[in-house]
Structure 1
Amino acid sequence: MSVLVNVIVMLGMLVVVPAGLRLTELRELDRIRQLWPLFAVPGAIALWLPRGGPATALACCYALGTVLLALYAPRRAARGRDLGPAGIALLTALVTPAVAATALVAERSGHELFGFDLGILALTVPHFHFAGFAAALIAGLVCRVSDGPAGRFAALSVPLGTLLVLAGYFIGDWAELVGAVVLTAGMWTVGLLTWRLGRAAGRDRTTRYLLLASAAVLAATMLLALSWAVGEATGLPHPSLTWMAATHGLGNALGFALCSLLAWRRLRTRTPARTEALAGPRTLTEGRTA
């Protein structure tokens, strides 16, 4: 893996996932959130070791944590919870780190899983931390406070687009393009609703700037993703994977995911009486959008 990709993945492992889990406010996730460093730190170390047994073993430690997290999704679904649009986005967020970890274990072991070369596997790891976990989680949060068709569309299209992109890995470039179109539409809707939240009256300056920055960055990074998918499918000129990592990847990690999580954390801590967990009993009415 390149140094830049490693840094982005470490941000996802050590910061984005635990911060996102905290925002769900799901009590059943408390234990795994507390234990998360025991899984994430070995995974982060594995990124910097040469491919081989030690790196693979450490990557497997991280994979174990992601599997434990993913197991919460069918449990909640079986109990009839989280079957609405926001809940589906939450379930997607719980599962996608396991996809990233599977790619990490294969890449660190030097195994071309399902025939994918090691470079693609390496880029799959950050993709499913950010376009998977972070994007689905934030889409669900936005849906909770945007009581309308746009919020529901965002919460459903982001998981669907993520699934279609994953399917496109196996089917071909045109299928991946369809997934990219769906995912981009969902993410742009998330960005629009986030922008409206940032412009709402009564928002403190720091939270406002974080929300507006995440929305603006998302508009640009998803345009890059769409242009890359179109180029792959049609043969038209498009950015290289190295350029995509430095622009789309870094922008989504810092500008969208990190800014969004910080903003939502501030919304929770500064207005506790008016907030709602992703699956909780209260309603975040401040800055409600249509």
Structure 2
Amino acid sequence: MSALVNAIVMLGMLVVVPAGLRLTERPELERIRRLWPLFAAPGALALWLPRGATATALACVYAVGTVLLALHAPRPAARGRDLDPAGIALLTALVTPSVAATALVAERSGHELFGFDLGILALTVPHFHFAGFAAALIAGLVCRVSDGPAGRFAALSVPLGTLLVLVGYFIGNWAELAGAVVLTAGMWTVGLLTWRMGHEEGRDRTTRFLLLCSAAVLVATMLLALSWALGEATGLPHPTLTWMAATHGLGNALGFALCSLLAWRRIHTHDAARTEARTEPRTDARTRTEGRTA
């Protein structure tokens, strides 16, 4: 792997996944989130070691963590909960790191899994951390606060596009192009709804900047994804994989995923503080009433 790809993957492992898990607000995921550094640190170290037994073993440790995460995904659905579009997006987010970890284990061992060369496997790792986990999670969060046709479309099309891209790896470039089109439509819808959120009244300047930045970045990065997929399918000139990693990959990692997660963290903190402020006067009033009664 190149140093740039390694750095992007480390960001996904060590920052994006645990920050995203905190935003799910699902108590059953809290233990995995707390233990996540024990899985992610060996995985991050594996990126920088030469391919071989040691790097593979460390990558397997990370894979165990992602499998534990994926095993939690179907539990609410099995109980008849979280089958709405936002829940489907969250389910997708919880499963996709295991796809990335599988590619990582194969790449670190030097095994061309399913016939894919090691370079493709290396790029699959960041793809399913960001276009998989981060994109699906944020689409689900946006859907929960924008519960209309656009929000539901975003929450469903991002997981569908991610799945189609994965299937396209096996079927061919045209199927991958179809997946890129669906994923781009979903991501641009996420960007549109995020842009609207950034212009809502009551947003502080930092949160507004983070939301608007993440929305704007999606326009450029998904155009690059479309151009690459179209070029692969038709033979038209298109960016190289190295160029895609330096533009599309870095932009999605820093401009979209990181900015979005920081913005949503601030939104959740602000909402929690506002809820607490509303309940405190009621508590104080009840205390005073009880004191007068006594």
TM-score of the aligned structures, taking structure 2 as reference length: 0.93
- Letter paired with 2:230: V
TM-score (structure 1 length as normaliser): 0.94
Instruction: Give the whole-Å Cα distance in 2 for the aligned partners of 1:228 and 1:272.
Output: 42
Structure number with larger C-alpha Rg: 2
Q: Percentage identity across aligned positions?
A: 88
Deviation at 1:27, TM superposition (A): 0.3
Q: Which residue of 1 aligns with 2:203?
A: 203
Q: Distance in 1 between matches of 2:76 and 2:163?
A: 20
Q: Compared with structure 1, are the counterparts of its residues 274 and 131 closer, same or farther at alpha carbon in structure 2 (3 Å cutoff)?
A: farther
Counterpart for residue 123 of structure 2: 123
Q: Which residue of 1 aligns with 2:227?
A: 227
Give the distance between the partners of 2:69 and 2:76, measured in 1 at CA: 12
Shift in Å, 1:273: 5.9
Distance (Å, rounded) in 2 between the aligned partners of 1:80 and 1:44: 36
Distance 1:76 1:64 in 2: 21
**Residue aligning to 1:108:** 108
Which structure would you say has the larger RCO, counting Cα contacts within 8 Å and 6 or more residues apart?
A: 1
Quote how far apart the aligned CAs of 1:77 are: 1.5
Q: Which has the higher helix share?
A: 2
Letter in 1 for 2:217: V
Q: Which runs of 5+ in 2 are unaligned?
A: 276-294
Counterpart position of 1:254: 254
> Residue 157 of structure 1: CA displacement?
0.0
Aligned counterparts of 2:74 and 2:156: Cα–Cα separation in 1: 18
**How far does residue 82 in structure 1 lie from its aligned partner after superposition?**
1.1
* 1:144 alignment partner in structure 2: 144
Give the whole-Å Cα distance in 2 for the aligned partners of 1:73 and 1:40.
19
The answer on 1:267 being equivalent to 2:255 is no
Task: Give the corresponding residue for 1:280.
Answer: none
Number of aligned residues: 275
1:196-227 deviation per Cα after TM superposition (whole angstroms, max 9, x unaligned): 00011111000000000000001100000000
* Amino acid paired to 1:131: A
CA distance, structure 2, for counterparts of residue 203 and residue 235 of structure 1: 45
**AA partner of residue 193 (structure 1):** L
Deviations 1:32-57 (A, max 9, x none): 00100000000000000000000000
Runs of 4+ aligned residues of structure 1 deviating over 2 Å after TM superposition are none
Q: Distance in 2 between matches of 1:147 and 1:2?
A: 41
1:274 Cα offset (Å)? 6.4
Structure 2 CA distance for partners of 1:86 and 1:203, relative to 1, 3 Å: same
Q: Deviations over 1:216-245 (max 9, x none)?
A: 001100000000000000000000000000
- 2:13: which partner in 1? 13
The aligned residue for residue 79 of structure 2 is 79
Report 1:233-252 matches (<5 A). 233-252=233-252
- How many angstroms apart in 2 are the aligned matches of 1:83 and 1:25? 17
RMSD value, Cα: 0.8
The offset of 1:29, in angstroms, is 0.4
